[in-house]
Amino acid sequence: MKNKFTGFFKNQEIVLLLIFVVIFVILGFLRPQEFLGKYNLQSMASQFPELGIISLGMMVVILSGGIDLSIVSVSTLAGVTGAWIMTKWGPPVETGIEGLDRSTGSGALSGPVVIIIAIVAIFAVALICGFINGFFIVKVGITPILVTLATMTLFEGVSLYFTKGGSIAGLPPQFIKIANTNILNVPLLFIIFIVVAIIVGIFLERSSWGRSIYMLGSNPIASLFSGINTKRLTMSVYLFSAAMAAIAAIIISARYNSAKIGTGSSYILQSITIVVLGGTAISGGYGKVTGTVIALLIMQVLKSGLNIVGISQYITDIAAGVILIIVLISNLYIERTRVLKT
Amino acid sequence: MKIRLPKETWLLIILAIVAVLIGIRSSIFFSAENLLDLIKGSTVIGICALGMTFVAMTGGIDISVSAVIAGVASIIGNYMFRSGNSFFNNVIIVFIISAISGAVFGAINGILIGKLKIPSIVATLGTLAIFKGVLFLITKGYWVNRADLPEWLKSLSLLTVFGIPIQIVIFFILIIICWLIMKYTTFGRIVYAIGGNSVSAIRIGINVDRVILYVYILMGILSGIAAFVHTTIMVGVDPNSFTGFEFKVIGAVFIGGVAITGGRGSVFGAVIGVLLLAVISNGMIIARIPIFWHQIVTGTVILLAISFDVVQRKRFESRLTKIDVAE
């Protein structure tokens, strides 16, 4: 009887799901009209995709035993590049900001064309950044924390060069529609996120690439001697997180109709929190996409829900930190009891 | 021909070369005023870097330092504001309050990391969020203004000893203290041991949990003192001004050659790292390089400095006889 009970809680994903349900129910109970209303659900569903995709990228990197502090800077840089292209060569758009009529868009290229070019550029820039990260980690051999710390500053610096501290606004209307479309009342962004999450999950669990990443994370040396090309694998991991950053960049610039430094600045720490909360070991080798997604949902309902109830945003931050620590402590406790049993 | 010199010496040489290059470009650089300003400006990061060196030496990291400094600064700021003209509002007491509050924050980190064995990245991430949240909840982001602060603080901020600002003197004293601790006390040696191989350290009988607790308390105390120094420079407290601070400290410490895995590094290395970054920043301003190049340059410098260190170490290690499996 005791075993069944504690056995049920052994699975961290279940615990997380429970926490999510509890929070959701409490908030729904406290403010049913607002919290459970269509507007709020839709708004929540379009807010978390950007953070979610970044968290997925971060998760894969952490699974491999590394970390990518620069993911948000890559996303910003990619977004800035895309926005710059769209405003430079796209159709002129009124920004609605006084005195800032973005008719600098030379209209040389039509809307859809410039969007496609911009998207290609976003991915290109992001992948180059990912390559730089990978190069210093794999070829030079510096630990990921230090490399991504430095590249984080570097990439942000390059973005600064483009934006000069301001923001690039006035993106083509077709592009912005990405952020506003709903398919059957479900925001397109949400669908994109679900699709990406499913793909990532499948790749991690079922493909050899995914399995190799888990192996790399739990024991790099054994992986090397098992014949895995660890150098190529590590590089691919950082390219992957860069690709995630690119997708996030598209989402962020579509949502905010602009690109500037600072939009995602809190996302690095938040995404690491989400990944760890979701059950991924910080040293790598263990973690599930479902866990990360549930953790993401928990953070999102906390943010939106507490906001609706009127609790200061700072309490949300505190709550996130406290939840993180509690989950970690209980994790370690569960680990210890599991080891003792064997 | 490979010149085998201690890492810190290489850094000093680089620092000297950079300084000379900047000096050639602009004569203002080597003026006493500029140099003193430069060093004074880097004391806050420097003092934190001292603490971070100990932390990094045990193989850990402390991301919460920015929240700790902001917290202590707010505490002493409010204390000085509230206690007005009372006798208890003087240098010594405020200094002690800084140190103790810092120690408390540090102890929280230390317990989570040392006793509860939560990995340092994650634990300090959590405490960063919690400290920041509590801080903003209480202060609501308000400044403590110059006008609300006591006179002694204003005179202290301008005090110089033989022409050297008091903040630099404090920094210097702390450097010496930390160096002595690192090199000549058992505690210091134990910190090296833990970083080098924590399992072996446990087997020797070192109480690793307790020492890690002390290391983070030390980090907290130093952060508290740094907050004190910061307040004497700014004569005001802005809780918002510390965002992104932790990364500057970490960057400086790791340029200075403290290995992320711990067990290697020195206090001087960290200090030189801090100075190098400060000199480069200052140099860029003097050379009228547009501000948006600054970050690009800083990031590249950190990257190159670390690469240089790692490559050199790998070449050195590849010459050692291997009895262990390694890549």
Give the pLDDT of residue A7: 44
Percent of chain B beyond pLDDT 90? Answer: 15
Of residues B214 and A186, the one with the higher pLDDT is B214
Q: Which amino acid, B118?
A: I
Of A317, A301, A274, A310, whose CA–CA distance to A27 is shortest?
A301
Q: At what angle do helices A71-89 and A38-63 cross, to 10 degrees?
A: 120
Residue B234 has pLDDT above 50, yes or no: yes
B24, part of any domain: yes
Q: Is residue B2 part of a domain?
A: no
Say which residue, A267 or B287, is predicted with more confidence.
A267
Q: What's the pLDDT at B323?
A: 63
| Predicted local distance difference test score (pLDDT) of residue B1 | 44
Is residue A110 included in any domain, yes or no? yes
Query: Chain B contacts of A276, Cβ < 8 Å?
Result: 122, 125
Q: Structural domain of residue A248, as residue ranges?
A: 68-269
What range defines the domain where residue B78 resides? 7-315
Q: What is the mean pLDDT of residues B102-127?
A: 89
What average pLDDT does the segment B192-212 reach?
82
Closest to B295 (Cβ–Cβ): which among A146, A153, A164?
A153
The pLDDT of residue B276 is: 84
The total domain count for chain A is 1
| Closest CA–CA distance from residue B52 to any residue of chain A (Å) | 14
B324 found inside a domain: no
Q: Is residue B80 part of a domain?
A: yes
Q: What is the ipTM of this complex?
A: 0.79
Chain A interface test: which of B74, B307, B314 (most A C-beta within 10 Å): B307
User: What are the two backbone dihedrals, phi and then psi, of residue A169, each rounded to the nearest 5 degrees?
Assistant: -125, 170
**Is 80 exceeded by the pLDDT of residue B242?**
no
Does the distance separating the beta carbons of B295 and A156 come in below 8 Å? yes
Per-residue pLDDT, A212: 93
User: Which pLDDT value is given to residue A176?
Assistant: 79
A305 min Cα distance to partner chain B (Å): 17
Nearest to B302 among A143, A150, A329 (CB): A150
Phi/psi at A101 (5° precision) = -85, 110
Residue A100: predicted pLDDT: 47
Q: Considering the domain boundaries, does residue A2 fall inside one?
A: no
Is residue B322 included in any domain, yes or no?
no
Cβ separation B261–A324 shorter than 8 A? no
Q: Is A196 contained in some domain?
A: yes
Mean pLDDT comparison of A57-61, B296-300, B304-308, highest-scoring range: A57-61
Sites in chain A below the pLDDT cut of 70:
1-12, 35, 93-111, 312-313, 338-342
The whole-number pLDDT of residue A101 equals 46
Would A281 be classed as within a structural domain?
no
Residues in chain B closer than 8 A to A165 (CB atoms)? 292
Give the one of B250, B310, B311 whose C-beta lies nearest to A149's C-beta.
Answer: B250
Query: Which residues of B are less than 8 Å from A284 in CB distance?
Result: none
Cα A27 to Cα A75: distance, rounded to the nearest angstrom: 32
The structure tokens listed for B104 are: 């408390």
- Model's pTM, two decimal places? 0.84
Chain position carrying tokens 């980190």: B109
The domain that contains B72 carries what CATH number?
1.10.3470
| Of the ranges A74-88, A309-323, B78-92, B154-168, the best mean pLDDT one | A74-88
Mean pLDDT of B113-131: 86
Report the residue count for chain A.
Answer: 342
pLDDT of residue A6: 44
More confident call, A214 vs B162: A214
Range in A132-136, A334-338, B220-224, B270-274 with the lowest mean pLDDT = A334-338
Asked if A209 contacts A68 with a C-beta cutoff of 8 angstroms, the reply is: no
pLDDT beyond 70 at B202 = yes
Residue A131 lies in a domain: yes
| pLDDT at residue A107, rounded to an integer | 61
> Are A157 and B303 in contact (CB < 8 Å)?
no
Size of interface A-B (CB pairs under 8 A): 139
Tokens 């900001």: give the residue. Answer: A97
Residue B53 lies in a domain: yes
Half-sphere exposure of B170 (CA within 13 A, CB side): 25
Q: Per the CB < 8 Å rule, is B327 touching A152?
A: no
**Residues linked to residue B160 through DSSP beta bridges, in sequence order:** B165
> Which segments of chain A are extended strands (E)?
93-94, 101-102, 167-169, 182-183, 186-187, 258-260
Q: Which residues of B touch A225 (CB under 8 A)?
A: 325
The answer to whether residue B1 sits within a structural domain is no
Question: Domain count of chain B?
Answer: 1
Whether B259 has a pLDDT exceeding 80, the answer reads: no
Nearest to A317 among B133, B243, B300 (CB): B133
Q: Which two tokens stand for residue B21?
A: 């290059």
B299 with A160: Cβ contact below 8 A: no
Q: What is the DSSP string of A64-132?
A: TT---TTHHHHHHHHHHHHHHHHHHHS--EE--STT-EETT----S-HHHHHHHHHHHHHHHHHHHHHH
Whether residue B320 lies inside any domain: the answer is: no
**DSSP 3-state of A285:** coil
